[in-house]
Structure 1
Amino acid sequence: MEFALSEEQGILSENIKKMFDDNISIDNIRDHSKGDKSLRKNIRESIIDMGLPGLMIPEEYGGSGLGVLEASLVAEQIGSHAVPSPWIGNSIMAPTAILFEKDNHLAEKWLPLIVSGEITVCISLSEVIGKRADLGLIVSEDKVSGINIFGIDGELNPAIIITAVKNNLILIETDNNGVEINEIPTIDSTRPVVEIIFDSSNYTIIPGGKEAIQKTIDVGRIGFAGDLLGASQNMLDKAVEYSLERKQFERVIGSFQAVKHMCAEMAAALEPCRSLMWYAAYSQDFISDEANLLACHAKAHLSEVAQDIARTSTQVFGGMGFTDLLGMHYWFKRIGLSRQILGGPERVRKEAALIQGFEI
Structure 2
Amino acid sequence: MTKFLNRPEDAVTESLRGFARAHADLVHLEDQPRFVRRKTLTPGKVALISGGGSGHDPMHAGFVGRGMLDAAVPGEVFSSPSTEQILAAAEAVGSDAGLLCIIKNYAGDLMNFEMAMELYDGPNASMVVQDDVGAAGGSATVGRRGVAGTVVVEKIVGAFAEQGGDLEGCRLLAESVAAATRSMGVALGGCRVPTSEKPNLELPLGEMEIGVGIHGEPGRRRGPITSADAIVEELMETLLADMQPKAATPLLLFINGLGGTPPMEQYILYDAAARILDAKGLTVARSIVAPLCSSLEMPGASITLTALDDQMLALWDDPVHTPGLRWGV
Do Structure 1 and Structure 2 share a fold, with TM-score over 0.5? no
Decide which structure has greater strand share. Answer: 2
The normalised TM-score by structure 1 is: 0.26
Q: Please tell me whether Structure 1 or Structure 2 has the larger radius of gyration of its CA atoms.
A: 1
Decide which structure has greater helix share. Answer: 1
The normalised TM-score by structure 2 is: 0.28
